[in-house]
Amino acid sequence: MKALLVRIGVDQKYGRWNAPVDANGRFVYVPIPENADTAFHHGLERRYGELLPALHRFCSDHNCDLHRDLRFPIDLLHRSVHLDPDFECLTYGDVGDRRGTEIASMSAGDILVFYSGMRPIHHCEHRLIYALVGLYVVQEVLSVGRISPERWYENAHVRKTKRGNTDIVVRAKPMVRDSCFSRRS
């Protein structure tokens, strides 16, 4: 069995912001932005506006304002989101000849563990908290060219019209859950 740790989520380099986390470990998963020139197959573009309900719910639960207190960059709302991993579709994509080389060689039963750097909303000595935010047990790893059009909606790497020759998508086994790693908001 192989296990890999993968950093995900918006941060200062990709999006100029860190998603919030509270003292109890509740957070909102906010992915990185897509490149501004990315083109998508018809109807498959995902936008940051889709994340607003979860962010507003988090703010409501913590009596804070998304823009004033959490300093959410309003310009992200005009951007496409690189929703990857896609926790609803249980997929994760990567470029198979760079960082994804190890991922491309994974087999059924191997494990991907996702972590993010998030900004605490509570009084804390740390500027960022790095936390595990998801875990996949691999079902299969596919090259993007093997994914049929009716499944293109499942991952950021196949939603795009232009794909890398070495791009891959991992599908996770459904119903493998641990309450420590379930989506919190």
Neighbours of 148 (CB within 10 A): 7
Q: Where are the domains of the chain?
A: 3-172
pLDDT at 176: 64
Show the CA angle centred on residue 32, arms to residues 30 and 36, nearest 5°: 135
**25 phi/psi in degrees, rounded to 5:** 85, 5
pLDDT at 63: 97
pLDDT at 182: 44
pLDDT at 185: 45
Give the chain's residues under pLDDT 50.
179-185
How far apart, in whole angstroms, are the C-alpha atoms of residue 68 and residue 7? 27
